[in-house]
Amino acid sequence: MLEETIRKHRQLKPMLIMSHLVLGYPSFEENRKIIDVMARSGVELVELQIPFSEPTADGPVILKANGLSIKNGTKVQQCFDFAAEVSQTYPEVSFLIMTYYNIVFVQGESEFIKKAKKSGIKGFIIPDLPPEEADGWLKLCLDEQMNSIFIFTPTHTQQRLVEISQVANGFVYCIGRRGVTGTKTEFDSTLAQQIEKYRLATKLPIALGFGIQEKSDIDFLHGKVDIAVIGSQLITVQEQMGVAGVEDFLKNIRSS
């Protein structure tokens, strides 16, 4: 299972990296090049986002990428086919699907989970699916030995964090600040205290995302979280400096 894989990696590394890309943006061919760079740079987990027209948790960078991917004609089945290709090519990487529940609902929960498993996917991040409405989803994931990753936010009470942790598996995705993706997060004592609250609520590995933009942010998180999540910044780097820029960025944040 995913939790065991993460813990094995953590025995060898102080912190793991989870990267993010929007499938079909700017093209699947460009996605292939970026994933190759991610794998060669030692990224342990990759979120493959199936584009959706209203990605409510995402900021302007990922929102634009979703819209352009849809405009390009990206289909859900293409995303599953692509996931199968990269999971076979890079077995050392744990690939996850990130999307919104409308996509799952239209496909059908059981069908969606089975297609993902067949494609080599290890789990799911569905930001707009609350635990109270996920009983059927969670049972299906358990039956197929798939991981359902839930989200901790700064607005949750400690009791709510514990409740979410009780249904989560794999790891917990922790939000660094209020708002949507892409905006710079302040990496300071307030964030450190928030991470401690997250830690107290779960025994699962924790990932922190939203607003990681540079190496100093990664350095701050060492010893505090198990996984650092980088999304919007990688898309911005790719748009400005291409595949080579993404490779340089990933190598830099991993340098000591």
pLDDT tens digit sequence for 85-127: 999 999 999 999 999 999 999 999 999 999 999 999 999 999 9
188 is catalytic: no
From the CB of residue 28, how many other CB atoms can be counted at a distance below 10 Å? 17
Give me the pLDDT at residue 179, please. Answer: 45
Are 125 and 47 contacting, i.e. CB atoms less than 8 angstroms apart? yes
Inter-CA distances, 161 with 164, 195, 225, 248, Å? 5, 12, 16, 36
- What tens digit of pLDDT does each residue of 220-230 get? 999 999 999 99
Active-site option among 44, 47, 226, 247: 47
- Structural domain boundaries of the chain? 2-251
> pLDDT-derived band of residue 181, with 50, 70 and 90 as boundaries?
very low
Active site residue 47: yes
Residue 178 zone, left/alpha/beta (φ > 0; ψ -120 to 50; rest): beta
CA distance 125 to 169: 11
Catalytic residue among 58, 217, 226, 247: 58
Fold of 2-251: TIM Barrel (3.20.20)
CB 168 within 8 A of CB 137: no
Flag whether pLDDT at 198 surpasses 90.
yes
